Structure 1
């Protein structure tokens, strides 16, 4: 299995169904923290549901409609990034993330999402990468800003989360903006 170094003892690797026990232990360590804004802890409450969710992303990877990667720190799973939606026909995808509290504040998500966006744009030809976030989720908004994304809009009460309607901010970066910000004004290579 490949691993991409994120520096400081961290790396990014695929997260697959055979890792369900490790994934569940990770979720249990961060369940309350992660669940403040992300529904992942609610849908991965036990080993069967954790394995099923990981299988959804294995199926998405096989169908080329999504991807899932784990963030490891000193070998321990501490978070993840994903391409929740990945539409090669339109050139649009949606990135997302989560992190357990012990790993927060180290820049791991920013570095991991940067790798995923680079891959989506440069290797796969995506034109637009979206980031959907609760306006209350300041750390995630800060990631979007650090990645050079633009805040495009605010959907009011569009997301019924845990029985309460929440707002969603939409952020995005376009391939030409990404390349310009990264000093890569050349056309993408296949």
Structure 2
């Protein structure tokens, strides 16, 4: 197992099925906050669904079609980043994130996302990394901007979440853009 230091007492580590109980406790602490824009909080609601969710990502990792990483702050799981999808043959991946309220405002998601995007571009030769986000999720849109992503467009009414339709923004960065941005000083966050 590996751990990547994110600074300020935070670490990025693979989130594995053995973390199911801890993952569920984390979801319980942040369920309403996390669930405002993404379905993860509704999908992980009991021990069985927590194990199944993490098992599905272990299977994706084995198939090289996705990854999931937890963010631990002072030893407590507080959020995560993932590649919801990865298509190595086509050179595309969709990144995403979540965070519980206690960890907001520390730049953890931006730092963690930078690490996984570095990995997927450098090690897996992914050409395009996408970030799909509800138009109302301004913190996640701010992360996409800090990562240097461009807004490709808006899929109107594309997401049904908790009985409500929402527009879905598609943000992306291409490998040459990502590599060029690494020679510049990083933005804060």
Q: TM-score range by the shorter chain?
A: over 0.9
* Displacement of 1:147: 0.4
* Displacement of 1:111: 0.1
**Partner of 2:93: helix, strand, or coil?**
strand
**RMSD of Structure 2 on Structure 1 (CA):** 0.8
Q: Which runs of 5+ in 1 are unaligned?
A: 185-190
* Displacement of 1:97: 0.2
* Displacement of 1:163: 1.1
* Displacement of 1:165: 1.1
Report whether the alignment pairs 1:182 with 2:182: yes
Structure-2 residue corresponding to 1:162: 162
* Correspondences of 1:77-92 after superposition (within 5 Å): 77-92=77-92
Q: What is the TM-score of this pair, normalised by structure 2? A: 0.96
Q: Which runs of 5+ in 2 are unaligned?
A: 185-189
* Displacement of 1:123: 0.8
* Correspondences of 1:74-153 after superposition (within 5 Å): 74-153=74-153
* Displacement of 1:6: 0.3
**Partner of 2:105: helix, strand, or coil?**
coil
Structure-1 residue corresponding to 2:60: 60
Q: What is the TM-score of this pair, normalised by structure 1? A: 0.96
Structure-2 residue corresponding to 1:187: none
**Partner of 2:52: helix, strand, or coil?**
helix
**Partner of 1:144: helix, strand, or coil?**
helix
Q: 1:26-51: per-residue Cα shift (whole Å, max 9, x none)?
A: 00000000000010010110000000
**Partner of 2:37: helix, strand, or coil?**
coil
2:150, 2:161 → 1: CA distance?
24
2:92, 2:2 → 1: CA distance?
25
Runs of 4+ in 1 over 3 A off after TM superposition: none
Q: 1:74-111: per-residue Cα shift (whole Å, max 9, x none)?
A: 11100000000000010000000000000000000000
